[in-house]
């Protein structure tokens, strides 16, 4: 069975936690750097040096807003034996590859009134390039204050999505608006990591709504106590979507204000909502797995497979992972690759 590497982190300081992460995932981190060097060289338009300069230009903002995460990032670079600028390029990948942006990911939240057993479930099919499949890791982070976090990321990046022991979970989708520009802001990887230090839904929501950004991103926030909200963030502010009858889905276009869209609408969010509503009141991990395997609207399906035959296989779009957070079980069920082909592994909070 193919599974992602599990990286367990429990250092006393942010820097120590970063070093532990970097050392355990060293080969994958270094592979990720080289993979992006090749990817950027192939796609052209900008040199590695210009992208590194952009990534480093974000450092003062991060240092002012969340200095502990900058120390964690420095620790990852030290542990993996790469330069800090290489580590920052990895962590600004979303912003750097934004123009143009491919459509990535389908997410949903299922609240107690729509699930079997009154649970909250948070779900994501992560779509990106097939070339990163071998560089994804599962992180289990333990902080000295007792906060624990489980989630997914590309090796070397701060944690991208998952949940923490305070019952706060986050999944994300790419968005591109007509307002996006190549300015500076807090990179989304740093913002996402900060969310997993939050102790409440409201604290996390406020952070997502107020953080400075230069590009758009969709953030689906959910909590163990049965709350969820989708935040369509763009450089000029945020639009908010609420669940309907305990179900909330999203893909890669603005729903609240479609005039913001710089990309064509994706059918995946509506399709997932249709599938979930057919099972409303009886939704659980197993039934959601089936929904995330759906191939309607191929090649723009919920479960994606490489279809762009005119580009190298490792650069083609694919569902690289599926994650289902079950707040009732305090666990994440994670599949490597398209969920129709792989097996889910359960990662329980320690």
- For residue 83, name the pLDDT band (cuts at 50, 70, 90): very high
Q: What is the pLDDT of residue 301?
A: 96
Long-range contacts of 230-234 (CB under 8 A, 24+ apart): 230/109, 231/205, 232/175, 232/256, 232/257, 232/260, 233/175, 233/208, 233/209, 234/175, 234/177, 234/179, 234/180, 234/260
- C-alpha span between 330 and 350 (Å, rounded): 9
Q: What is the pLDDT of residue 312?
A: 84
Residue 226 backbone zone (phi > 0: left; psi -120 to 50: alpha; other: beta): left
DSSP state of 299: T
Question: pLDDT: is 74 or 306 the higher one?
Answer: 74
Of the candidates 220, 259, 266, 225, the one whose C-alpha atom is nearest the C-alpha of residue 243 is 220
Please spell the DSSP secondary structure of 312-330, one letter per residue. Answer: -GGGSEEEEEEEEEETTTT
- Tell whether the model's pLDDT for residue 39 goes beyond 90: no
Percent of the chain with pLDDT over 90: 88
Contact status, residue 88 vs residue 56, Cβ threshold 8 Å: yes
HEC states along 328-341?
CCCEEEEEECCCCC
**pLDDT tens for residues 174-198?**
999 999 988 889 999 999 999 999 9
Asked which of 17-26, 38-47, 258-267, 313-322 is least confident by mean pLDDT, the reply is: 38-47
For the whole model, what pTM was predicted? 0.96
- C-alpha span between 336 and 321 (Å, rounded): 5
Q: What is the pLDDT of residue 103?
A: 65
Question: pLDDT: is 248 or 308 the higher one?
Answer: 248
Q: Which domains does the chain have, with CATH numbers?
A: 5-348 (3.60.60.10)
- Helices 26-43 and 67-80: crossing angle, nearest 10°? 100
Q: What is the pLDDT of residue 71?
A: 98
Average pLDDT score over residue span 48-57? 94
- Tell whether the model's pLDDT for residue 101 goes beyond 60: no
Given the structure tokens 């669940």, which residue do they identify?
Answer: 243
- C-alpha span between 63 and 72 (Å, rounded): 12
Tokens at 83, concatenated: 């330069």
Strands annotated E in 120-208: 121-129, 136-142, 148-154, 161-164, 168-174
Tokens at 26, concatenated: 């060293």
Of the candidates 124, 39, 91, 43, the one whose C-alpha atom is nearest the C-alpha of residue 319 is 124
């Amino acid at each position: 069975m193919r599974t992602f590497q599990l990286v367990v982190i429990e250092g006393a300081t942010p820097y120590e936690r970063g070093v532990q992460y970097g050392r355990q995932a060293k080969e994958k981190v270094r592979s990720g750097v080289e993979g992006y060097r090749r990817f950027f060289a192939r796609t052209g338009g900008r040199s590695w040096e210009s992208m590194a300069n952009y990534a480093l230009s974000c450092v003062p903002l991060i240092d002012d807003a969340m200095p502990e995460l900058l120390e964690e990032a420095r620790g990852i670079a030290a542990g993996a034996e790469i330069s800090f600028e290489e580590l920052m390029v990895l962590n600004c990948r979303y912003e750097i590859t934004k123009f143009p942006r491919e459509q990535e990911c389908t997410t949903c939240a299922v609240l107690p009134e729509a699930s079997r057993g009154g649970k909250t479930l948070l779900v994501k099919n992560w779509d990106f390039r097939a070339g990163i499949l071998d560089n994804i890791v599962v992180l289990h982070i333990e902080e000295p204050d007792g906060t624990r976090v489980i989630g997914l990321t590309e090796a070397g990046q701060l944690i991208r999505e998952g949940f923490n022991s305070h019952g706060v979970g986050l999944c994300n989708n790419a968005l591109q608006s007509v307002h996006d520009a190549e300015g500076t802001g807090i990179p989304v990887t740093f913002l996402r990591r900060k969310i997993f230090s939050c102790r409440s839904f409201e604290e996390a929501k406020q952070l997502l709504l107020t953080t400075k950004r230069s590009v758009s991103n969709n953030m689906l926030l959910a909590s163990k106590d049965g709350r969820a909200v989708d935040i369509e963030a763009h450089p000029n502010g945020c639009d908010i979507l609420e669940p309907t009858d305990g179900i909330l889905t999203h893909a890669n276009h603005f729903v609240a204000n479609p005039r913001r869209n710089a990309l064509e609408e994706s059918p995946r969010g509506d399709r997932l909502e249709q599938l979930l509503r057919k099972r409303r009141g009886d939704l659980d991990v197993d039934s959601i797995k089936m929904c995330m395997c759906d191939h309607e609207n191929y090649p723009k399906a919920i479960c994606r497979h490489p279809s762009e035959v005119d580009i190298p296989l490792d650069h083609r779009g694919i569902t690289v992972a599926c994650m289902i957070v079950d707040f009732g079980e305090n666990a994440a069920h994670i599949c490597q690759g398209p969920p129709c082909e792989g097996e889910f592994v359960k990662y329980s909070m320690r």
